[in-house]
Amino acid sequence: MTDSTVWRIKPGLYLIDQQFLGVRGVIGSYLLVDEQENDLALIETGPTPTMNNVFEGIRSVGFEPEAIRTIIVTHIHLDHSGAAGQMLRHLPDARVLVHPNGAEHLTDPGRLLQSAGRIYGDDMDRLWGEVVAVPEDRVQTVEDRETIRAGGRSLMAVSTPGHAGHHHAWFDAEQGDLFTGDAAAVRLERVPYVRPPTVPPEFDLEKWRSTVGTMRSLRPQRLHLTHFGSFDDPEWHFDDLLCRLHYWYGWVSARLKQGVEQDDLIQELQEFGDRELVEITGSTDLIEPYELATAYYMTIQGMSRYWRRQQRD
């Protein structure tokens, strides 16, 4: 550890804790460094309120943010890309790489903010701060299986829908590193507990199951999660993700068929999920961080929307 909020994972790779809402271990950015070329790349900007924490983290390990040439966002949800426009005002040589279906929401975030506003309401500013457009000439779209060079690494974009249709994971085949965004879900403090962020409007159970197969087929040695940290047990991790994803959705869909109201479902899932987390970890310490990373009400909203879509189809 180089700083209380920055970890050196291996030469040229650092994890920066964004300290989201003052809570550690919820949202991370990954800094990739090629010291010979003075080439820095950043995976995930996080939201605007944490931007200065990211910059301070970069400086704390001896680099200047202005050396960043490449910013990669796995998808355009605000906890992953919200600060992109603001960051570029400080990074003269940087470009933003994004899934083709996400680019328009970076250059014109109006619809994205309207959609988020329906979910977060009066908490929008507190959570996400000011979101500004990314200039079109500084956005680069990347296709599935396209490889780019950044931060001294060759990184391949991998289409990984299920959490969101515009989601890429990024794979460094040479080093066995898979930067998963939300495709490998949420796992905090290295505990054996993986919680799926099934947020609206694009959660899709079948696509996510296929995505797990895609990630397995890459045979990664390590998973680098935005929420939060690096894990060297990918097969166990994928198994736990699929088990909880299917178990929770099966339970929610059964309750929806019974006509249970959404607010009651949220309360029931929270009671069950928190109890399960405490049983596994032996502590209540991670209840709040897990809720910040993936709130129960969004889990129910995403699953309910998917279930209704399945009923119509």
pLDDT-derived band of residue 1, with 50, 70 and 90 as boundaries? Answer: very low
Q: What mean pLDDT, rounded, does the chain reach?
A: 95
pLDDT in tens, 192-233: 999 999 999 999 999 999 999 999 999 999 999 999 999 999
Q: What is the CATH number of domain 1-142?
A: 3.60.15.10
pLDDT-derived band of residue 33, with 50, 70 and 90 as boundaries? Answer: very high
Q: What is the DSSP letter of 3?
A: B
Of residues 269, 239, 241, 240, the one with CA closest to residue 254: 269
- Helix (H) or strand (E) segment spanning residue 257: helix 234-257
- Is the pLDDT at 21 greater than 80? The verdict is yes
Task: Answer whether 1-142 and 160-313 agree in fold.
Answer: yes
What pLDDT sits at residue 2? Answer: 41
Of residues 220 and 3, more confidence is placed in 220
pLDDT in tens, 95-125: 999 999 999 999 999 999 998 988 888 899 9
Q: Per-residue pLDDT averaged across 292-301, rounded? A: 96
Cα–Cα distances (Å) from 207 to 162, 235, 244, in that order, read: 5, 19, 16
Of residues 100, 109, 119, 287, the one with CA closest to residue 199: 119
- Cα 285 to Cα 107: distance, rounded to the nearest angstrom: 39
Q: What is the CATH number of domain 160-313?
A: 3.60.15.10
Q: Per-residue pLDDT averaged across 151-166, rounded? A: 97
Tokens 């996510």 — which residue? 208
- Cα 111 to Cα 221: distance, rounded to the nearest angstrom: 38
Q: Per-residue pLDDT averaged across 18-26, rounded? A: 96
Q: Per-residue pLDDT averaged across 27-50, rounded? A: 95
Q: Per-residue pLDDT averaged across 32-42, rounded? A: 92
pLDDT-derived band of residue 81, with 50, 70 and 90 as boundaries? Answer: very high
**Helix, strand, coil share (%) of the chain residues, nearest 5:** 45, 20, 35
Task: Give the strands of the sheet with 177-181, arranged side by side.
Answer: 147-150, 153-159, 168-172, 177-181, 222-225, 229-231
Could you state, in order of their start, the residue ranges of all structural domains in the chain?
Answer: 1-142, 160-313
- Is the pLDDT at 134 greater than 90? The verdict is yes
Q: Per-residue pLDDT averaged across 171-197, rounded? A: 97
Q: What is the DSSP letter of 153?
A: E
- Is the pLDDT at 178 greater than 70? The verdict is yes
What pLDDT sits at residue 38? Answer: 84
Cα–Cα distances (Å) from 249 to 63, 208, 234, in that order, read: 44, 12, 22
Q: Per-residue pLDDT averaged across 259-270, rounded? A: 95
pLDDT-derived band of residue 3, with 50, 70 and 90 as boundaries? Answer: very low
pTM of the model: 0.95
